[in-house]
Structure 1
Amino acid sequence: MADTTVEDGDGIRTFPFPVGLSVGGVGMQVGPMGTGRTWHADAPLERVHRIDFHIVLLFTGGPVRHMVDFAEHEATAGDVLWIRPGQVHRFSKTSEYRGTVLAMQPGFLPRATVEATGLYRYDLPPLLHPDEAQSAGLRAALAYLQQEYDDLATETLPLSLHTSVLRHSLTAFLLRLAHLAASSAEAARRRTDTTFTLFREAVERDFAVNHSVSAYADALGYSRRTLVRAVRAATGETPKGFIDKRVVLEAKRLLAHTELPIGRVGAAVGFPDPANFSKFFHQHTDTTPAAFRAELR
């Protein structure tokens, strides 16, 4: 097969769907994971690359570390990894991939199915953790799809009819997968909402004495990374930015509505050194505490 790989401006190669390796030349493949499998004879899978098709990996072993869009994911038995066209990813040389892999060209399914199954929902998480019932349904649907795919070689049906059966079987599997992906995203959103809510409440309670992101993370039992993701998802800013905005707001309230000396205002929002308070206030407002107060009098 001719080398039709494309190298983008960032130097990352994009490999096409390997039609020549597909039974009957149809726009999908399904089979066991294993060593030696490749998209192309010149495609080192342990190197960062893109593909112009979908792959779904349903694992029966693990752990497996796999990078998708520069985020490392760790999958174990029962997990599903869904990588969409154009996403940058890399297989791990040190992980043993066991399970079933499904590859499919985007154009193999009709547009209505593509929309119904969310094939291009890049906002959904690539790594999915189905529960026991969801996993059983996915395994059964994928096993039936693999049986139909393997039957292509026996030519028990005309190719056109067999292709139609494959499309319907693939659609049934993808509908289950899409429901799982959407449910996982919603669950993640709820967890993020809960994390941010707890952080917001903690900041409201302690902003006058605690300006440390790590201290809030430790007190709430989250990693700093988890807290950063939750706050960014909820507000579009960093936890430190959120804390600083609350401190500035309180300082402005005290400067505007009380007669406290500026040094006392600083101490009230966690700056016992007046010089540090003035520097912080100016950094975030482009004016000094004294000038801010004077503008309102």
Structure 2
Amino acid sequence: MSGATVLTDGDIEDEPAGVFPMHRLDVPMPNSLPFAIGTFDSIGPMSRADFPHRHTFYEIVYVTGGTGTHVRDLHRAELRPPHLEFILPGQLHHWEDCRGVEGYVVLFTEDFLLDHPGDREILRRLGAAPWRRLDERANGWAGPLVADLDREYRMGAGGFDSVLRALLHILIVRAGRRLAEGPAVPERAPSVVEEFVGLVAGSDPAGLSVRACAERIGVSVGHLSEIVKEATGRTPGELVRQARTHEAKRLLARTELTVRQVALRVGFDDPAYFCRFFRRETGTSPGAFRKGGGDFHHDHRIPSIAGSGAGSIGS
């Protein structure tokens, strides 16, 4: 598969029976932001993939026209545009019988939420909510916000990365408000996976552990590991390490705390061990990350969708 989205391991044909392909956003850091936006056509045919798959990044779809069905975690939603919907890392989804689908696709990794870590919890709730049609009032703010994101991304003017994060934050918060204000939906008990993801998103990274989460949910560590891996393609330990790394990046890039203080904030008593952990997870040291201003201060868009005739990037 060409473009900015690639399989994490091998090709689709190589996947064992019953294992769905997992795609990642192929952003060549540090030359590009972990973010992309484009129309369904400019993103490419993978934006309407008709086979079940998952990805390691977040996806927002703003559908303004067309017909068909979207299937997310086995829940089917007939398209009745306009829609503003959210797909989380690890969620299984695909499109069926789509005709003339129009709108925008927004792709970004966990790292792009650096300035607004609370958005992860809002996104979790949005990703668990059923698809609903936007009413006229909601579409009145959603459409211009998505258009601003697209315009800012294509222009690439100075400081555009900060503007993109601010616009995305507004979009997520307003969508969260709409979810809270929307019509009541039947209550259902959250799944074990949803509980675990919620705990990871909302807990202090310093106190995070797979065993503590399993005890709080009321399942064994082995059972938690099995179902989280099956649902997300990643182990609970990987998700916990990701949460700690994300908070460490935020503190290094946005505060004046020393590396020792950052290590303590994310649960490491030994700064040397924290440095080894951080390098293993990110490929760079805490000091080099801070000196470079973090992964997010760059002026380059993803070349594959920066203009017309660009290569495909999938969802």
Q: TM-score, normalised by structure 1?
A: 0.53
- The Cα of 1:183 is off from its aligned counterpart by 2.9
- Whether 2:114 is the aligned partner of 1:107: answer no
Equivalent positions of 1:74-93 (< 5 A) are: 74-93=78-97
Question: Which one-letter code corresponds to 1:32 in the other structure?
Answer: T
Which residue of 1 is the match for residue 162 of structure 2? 164
Which residue of 1 is the match for residue 21 of structure 2? 13
Would the alpha carbon gap of residues 118 and 111 (structure 1) be closer, same or farther in structure 2, given more than 3 Å must change? Answer: farther
Q: Distance in 2 between matches of 1:150 and 1:84?
A: 24
- The Cα of 1:128 is off from its aligned counterpart by 2.8
Q: Distance in 1 between matches of 2:101 and 2:49?
A: 12
Would the alpha carbon gap of residues 177 and 109 (structure 1) be closer, same or farther in structure 2, given more than 3 Å must change? Answer: same
- Whether 2:26 is the aligned partner of 1:32: answer no
Which residue of 1 is the match for residue 143 of structure 2? 139
- The Cα of 1:108 is off from its aligned counterpart by 0.5
DSSP 3-state at the match of 1:182: helix
Q: Distance in 1 between matches of 2:97 and 2:119?
A: 35
- The Cα of 1:135 is off from its aligned counterpart by 0.7
Question: Which one-letter code corresponds to 2:63 in the other structure?
Answer: F
Would the alpha carbon gap of residues 11 and 64 (structure 1) be closer, same or farther in structure 2, given more than 3 Å must change? Answer: same
Would the alpha carbon gap of residues 38 and 28 (structure 1) be closer, same or farther in structure 2, given more than 3 Å must change? Answer: farther
Which residue of 1 is the match for residue 99 of structure 2? 95
Q: Distance in 2 between matches of 1:115 and 1:94?
A: 30
> Is the 1:28–1:105 contact (alpha carbons within 8 Å) kept by the matching residues of 2?
yes
> Is the 1:58–1:79 contact (alpha carbons within 8 Å) kept by the matching residues of 2?
yes
> Is the 1:113–1:171 contact (alpha carbons within 8 Å) kept by the matching residues of 2?
no
- The Cα of 1:73 is off from its aligned counterpart by 0.8
Deviation readout 1:219-266 (Å, 9 max, x if unpaired): xxxxxxxxxxx7xx49xxxxxxxxxxxxxxxxxxxxxxxxxxxxxxxx
Q: Distance in 1 between matches of 2:113 and 2:125?
A: 16
Question: Which one-letter code corresponds to 1:143 in the other structure?
Answer: A
Q: Once superposed, what is the RMSD of the aligned Cα atoms?
A: 3.1
> Is the 2:88–2:127 contact (alpha carbons within 8 Å) kept by the matching residues of 1?
no
- The Cα of 1:123 is off from its aligned counterpart by 6.7
Would the alpha carbon gap of residues 132 and 30 (structure 1) be closer, same or farther in structure 2, given more than 3 Å must change? Answer: same
Q: Distance in 1 between matches of 2:58 and 2:107?
A: 6
Structure number with the bigger relative contact order (C-alpha 8 A, sep ≥ 6) is 2
Deviation readout 1:136-173 (Å, 9 max, x if unpaired): 10111111111111111xxx31xxx2211211111111
Would the alpha carbon gap of residues 38 and 109 (structure 1) be closer, same or farther in structure 2, given more than 3 Å must change? Answer: farther
One of 143, 165, 177 as aligned partner of 2:175: 177
Q: Distance in 2 between matches of 1:38 and 1:63?
A: 16
Which residue of 1 is the match for residue 263 of structure 2? none
Equivalent positions of 1:1-297 (< 5 A) are: 4-6=7-9, 10-19=18-27, 25-34=32-41, 37-38=44-45, 45-110=49-114, 112-115=116-119, 118-121=122-125, 124-152=128-156, 156-157=157-158, 161-184=159-182, 187-189=183-185, 192=186, 233=188
- The Cα of 1:8 is off from its aligned counterpart by 8.2
Structure 1 or 2: more helix by fraction: 1
- The Cα of 1:100 is off from its aligned counterpart by 1.3
Question: Which one-letter code corresponds to 1:16 in the other structure?
Answer: R
Would the alpha carbon gap of residues 3 and 101 (structure 1) be closer, same or farther in structure 2, given more than 3 Å must change? Answer: closer
> Is the 1:5–1:16 contact (alpha carbons within 8 Å) kept by the matching residues of 2?
yes
DSSP 3-state at the match of 2:22: strand
Rg larger in 1 or in 2? Answer: 1
Q: Distance in 1 between matches of 2:65 and 2:173?
A: 24
> Is the 1:15–1:52 contact (alpha carbons within 8 Å) kept by the matching residues of 2?
yes
Question: Which one-letter code corresponds to 2:168 in the other structure?
Answer: L
Q: Give the percent of matched residue pairs that are identical in Structure 1 and Structure 2.
A: 22
Q: Distance in 1 between matches of 2:69 and 2:48?
A: 16
Would the alpha carbon gap of residues 188 and 127 (structure 1) be closer, same or farther in structure 2, given more than 3 Å must change? Answer: same
Q: Distance in 2 between matches of 1:164 and 1:50?
A: 28
DSSP 3-state at the match of 1:60: strand
Would the alpha carbon gap of residues 25 and 63 (structure 1) be closer, same or farther in structure 2, given more than 3 Å must change? Answer: same
